[in-house]
Amino acid sequence: MNYRKNKLLNGEIYKLMLKAGESELRAHIDDVNNLNVFPVPDGDTGDNMWRTVRGGVNALEACKTDGLKDAVQTSSKGMLLEARGNSGVIISQFFKGITDVLMDTETADAFELIRALQSGVKEAYSSVEKPAEGTILTVARESVGYAASKTDKESTLSDLMEALRDGMKVSLEHTPELLPVLKQAGVIDSGGAGLYYVICGF
């Protein structure tokens, strides 16, 4: 079924989105690994982020969930348990922040999703002792701000995700200007790239 014109997110759509995000990230693991120069050039950002998101998908597949609030809580717990590395922890906290807003509702429109994404950004920043700009944190914050500016009462889920994706692309291209180690290596931020692929799947 095509959900692109839907204006309300429910549990069924959320599960499909998360699985698609995990699949898109899995297809680009090597691309993300090859960008990995910060904070340590250990070439495992793609693997860590994928294992984390996969933890959420596995949790959903392992038990029956009923509705959106059940789906977001189950998948978020799965990600938190499987979080690997700095990037994995940050993306798991990003989804925890989203869950904090959606855990009491069975459907969410674009405005509620923006609020959830803003909560995700706040939670991601709070998970890092010394947040650095030019990283996944910047990409999340700037893209959510961009998506919020493009969202109105007529926005579909697809409209919102496309705006989020477009905002991430622009933010990613700017990361080397904010983090000298990226500019020196001639790459964009790896964690931000991983999040971008998840949203492309969404």
pLDDT of residue 2: 67
Residues 9-68: pLDDT tens digits? 999 999 999 999 999 999 999 999 999 887 667 779 999 999 999 999 999 999 888 899
Residues 149-194: pLDDT tens digits? 999 999 999 999 999 999 999 999 999 999 999 999 999 999 999 9
Averaged over 115-135, what is the pLDDT?
96
Q: Are 5 and 156 in contact (CB under 8 A)?
A: yes
